[in-house]
């Protein structure tokens, strides 16, 4: 089976969050399961020079206001990618979504409508020699593909089925209504009404309406988003499609995230050589200017700093953590107020709290290797990957009981500890006092090093790779290819 991924980011080429990790690793896991999966994404600056064997697969004289080409090649990992080279849309310094001023690019609607448009063209056979049996869309940036597939479909030339994975319902692709005129959606056709969202248009809504199937990245998040409390205005639409909504927990690339072979860590280790992790801890403490104390439980955070992630709770619980001899290391970037609050906390507790503002992939590996525990206090979390990296690195996750966090961490309550199934700590509700209790429980267990190491080993032996999830996607694809009514 041939599957086309359409995505705005893909590790290792471009990454702002977990979507990139998924778009980079899942196709490789699918390939191992016999699926010919290829990934379409924009050729942001510098990307064309990072693929091998580039060939021009298609040229387009006018793609939303300029010339474009589709360049096919492979990443260093062997992933087959198509880079959409449209300089008028993507060749600019800045991030995939934000300019250097930190604001959304003003033409993000055109940039991602163009990506979606090309996705639909490729899906409908625009490239000689390769057409997918199914299109797998990711988030609002590729959701319009489903509408374009619907519009293009005819009884004699049906479009292939589409699956839209919602990685985060908070990002809905909202734009002013008058922009619809620029999106190559024929006037008078249903999609225009189907894009309307409380006085704006939403690209995600088009995907929710027109994709043959919807999925999200954990079963708990799939249940949460059909409720008014967590549906972010989409719950009614999603309830209407509940029969076509599946939750599949993400995996992680366990060759990139392997403490035994990780090139970024100071001292490689595995579950049998857990003692070596102390070397990574000392190295991290040294690198961050924390006191070199082997006995201090070192908690870490690696995260986008946004309201979603609940990190505003940290300053409140910090004093009691430090009073109990713990240390905290934060790596993150995002909200300026949150950055400032965390930097203030670090200044107040030199040697005990370290905050690195920025995005640093190698350092994130050293955090996972060097810390004793990773804190993920998200208010909502579709899946979450850092707790999975934590499991793999024996860095005990302390997580809010929401979304994928609830699905991937088994709380170290007495019964679970006794049965040897615990892998971390969960807390609810998502507030400072529940977080503080969970951190206290972790510090208590840390004091009993044998029990702590049992927890670490159990976490490290959990299967967090992609093979289980990939098999579930293959099942779903097969069902859709056989049964989906052509849009």
- Chain contacts with ligand GLC (rule: CB under 6 A): 17-19, 22, 167-168, 217, 250, 381-385, 404
The residue behind tokens 């201090």 is: 296
Q: Specify the stretch interacting with ligand ADP by CB under 6 A; choose among 12-20, 88-96, 180-188, 471-479.
A: 12-20
Closest CA to 22 of 203, 249, 360: 249
Measure Cα distances from 241 to 8, 150, 187, 210, 357 in Å: 25, 17, 26, 10, 40
Tell me if 264 contacts ligand ADP by CB under 6 A: no
Measure Cα distances from 402 to 176, 203, 231, 426, 466 in Å: 32, 26, 14, 9, 21
Pick from 1, 2, 17, 457 the residue near ligand ADP by CB under 6 A: 17
Cβ(99)–Cβ(48) below 8 Å: no
Pick from 77, 107, 235, 360 the residue near ligand ADP by CB under 6 A: 360
Please say which residue, 23 or 443, places its beta carbon nearer to ligand GLC: 23
The CB-of-457 to ligand GLC minimum distance in angstroms stands at 25
The CB-of-333 to ligand ADP minimum distance in angstroms stands at 5
The CB-of-270 to ligand GLC minimum distance in angstroms stands at 25
Tell me if 216 contacts ligand ADP by CB under 6 A: no
Measured CA to CA, the distance from residue 380 to residue 377 in angstroms comes to 9
The CB-of-405 to ligand ADP minimum distance in angstroms stands at 9
Please say which residue, 352 or 378, places its beta carbon nearer to ligand GLC: 378
Q: Which two tokens stand for residue 159?
A: 């479009």
SS3 323: helix
Tell me if 1 contacts ligand ADP by CB under 6 A: no
The CB-of-290 to ligand ADP minimum distance in angstroms stands at 18
Measure Cα distances from 184 to 108, 150, 220 in Å: 15, 13, 36
Please say which residue, 332 or 465, places its beta carbon nearer to ligand ADP: 332
Please say which residue, 18 or 377, places its beta carbon nearer to ligand GLC: 18
Tell me if 232 contacts ligand ADP by CB under 6 A: no
Helices first, then strands: H and E counts in the chain = 18, 18
Measured CA to CA, the distance from residue 363 to residue 240 in angstroms comes to 43
Tell me if 394 contacts ligand ADP by CB under 6 A: no
Write the DSSP symbol of residue 104: B
Tell me if 370 contacts ligand ADP by CB under 6 A: no
SS3 151: helix
Measure Cα distances from 463 to 196, 252, 339, 419 in Å: 42, 10, 34, 18
Tell me if 384 contacts ligand ADP by CB under 6 A: yes
Phi and psi torsions of 232, nearest 5° = 50, 40
Q: Which residue is nearest to ligand ADP (CB)?
A: 18
Tell me if 300 contacts ligand ADP by CB under 6 A: no
Write the DSSP symbol of residue 98: B
Strand-pairing partners, residue 5, are: 39, 136
Closest CA to 194 of 182, 174, 209: 209
Tell me if 377 contacts ligand ADP by CB under 6 A: no
**Of ligand ADP, ligand GLC, none, which one does residue 109 interact with (CB within 5 to 8 Å by kind)?**
none
**Of ligand GLC, ligand ADP, none, which one does residue 217 interact with (CB within 5 to 8 Å by kind)?**
ligand GLC
Q: Which two tokens stand for residue 146?
A: 């489903």
Q: Which two tokens stand for residue 288?
A: 């961050």
Cβ(83)–Cβ(71) below 8 Å: yes
Q: Which two tokens stand for residue 61?
A: 């004289």
Tell me if 386 contacts ligand ADP by CB under 6 A: yes
Tell me if 329 contacts ligand ADP by CB under 6 A: no
Tell me if 403 contacts ligand ADP by CB under 6 A: no
Tell me if 302 contacts ligand ADP by CB under 6 A: yes
Tell me if 274 contacts ligand ADP by CB under 6 A: no
Tell me if 285 contacts ligand ADP by CB under 6 A: no
Binding site for ligand ADP (CB under 6 A): 17-19, 21, 302-304, 331-333, 359-361, 364, 383-386
């Amino acid at each position: 089976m041939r599957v086309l991924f359409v995505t705005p980011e893909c590790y290792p080429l471009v990454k702002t969050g977990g979507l990139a990790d998924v778009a980079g690793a899942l196709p490789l896991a699918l390939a191992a399961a016999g699926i010919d999966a290829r990934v379409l994404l924009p050729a942001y600056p510098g990307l064309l020079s990072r693929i091998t064997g580039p060939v021009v697969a298609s040229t387009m004289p006018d793609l939303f206001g300029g010339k474009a080409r589709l360049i096919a090649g492979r990443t260093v990992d062997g992933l087959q990618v198509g880079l959409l080279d449209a300089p008028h849309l993507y060749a600019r310094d800045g991030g995939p979504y934000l300019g250097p001023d930190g604001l959304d690019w003003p033409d993000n609607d055109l940039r991602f409508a163009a990506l979606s448009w090309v996705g639909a063209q490729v899906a409908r056979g625009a490239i000689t020699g390769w057409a997918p049996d199914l299109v797998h869309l990711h988030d609002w940036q590729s959701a319009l593909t489903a509408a374009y597939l619907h519009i293009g479909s005819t009884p004699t030339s049906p479009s292939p089925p589409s699956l839209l994975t919602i990685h985060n319902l908070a990002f809905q692709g909202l734009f002013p209504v008058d922009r619809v005129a620029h999106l190559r959606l024929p006037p008078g056709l249903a999609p225009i009404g189907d894009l309307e969202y409380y006085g704006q248009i939403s690209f995600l809504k088009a995907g929710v309406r027109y994709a043959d199937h919807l999925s999200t990245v954990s079963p708990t998040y799939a249940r949460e988003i059909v409720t008014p409390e967590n549906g972010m205005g989409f719950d009614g639409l999603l309830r209407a499609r509940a029969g076509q909504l599946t939750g599949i927990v993400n995996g992680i690339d366990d060759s990139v995230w392997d403490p035994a072979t990780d090139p970024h860590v100071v001292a490689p280790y595995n579950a049998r050589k857990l003692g070596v992790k102390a070397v990574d801890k000392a190295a991290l403490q040294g690198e961050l200017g924390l006191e070199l104390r082997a006995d201090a439980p070192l908690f870490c955070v690696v995260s986008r700093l946004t309201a979603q992630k609940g990190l505003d709770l940290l300053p409140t619980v910090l004093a009691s953590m430090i009073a109990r001899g713990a240390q905290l290391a934060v790596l993150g970037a995002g909200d300026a107020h949150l950055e400032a609050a965390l930097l203030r906390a670090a200044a107040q507790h030199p040697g005990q709290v370290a905050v690195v503002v920025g995005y640093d992939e190698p350092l994130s590996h050293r955090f996972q290797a060097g810390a004793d525990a990773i804190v993920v206090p998200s208010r909502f979390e579709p899946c979450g990957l850092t707790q999975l990296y934590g499991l793999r690195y024996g860095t005990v996750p302390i997580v809010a009981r929401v979304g994928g966090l609830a699905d991937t961490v088994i709380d170290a309550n007495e019964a679970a500890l006794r049965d040897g199934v615990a892998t971390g700590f969960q807390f609810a509700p998502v507030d400072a006092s529940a977080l503080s209790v969970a951190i206290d429980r972790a510090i208590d267990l840390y004091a009993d090093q044998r029990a702590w190491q049992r927890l670490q080993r159990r976490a490290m032996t959990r299967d967090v790779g992609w093979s289980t999830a990939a098999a579930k996607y293959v099942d779903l694809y097969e069902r859709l290819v056989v049964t989906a009514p052509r849009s």
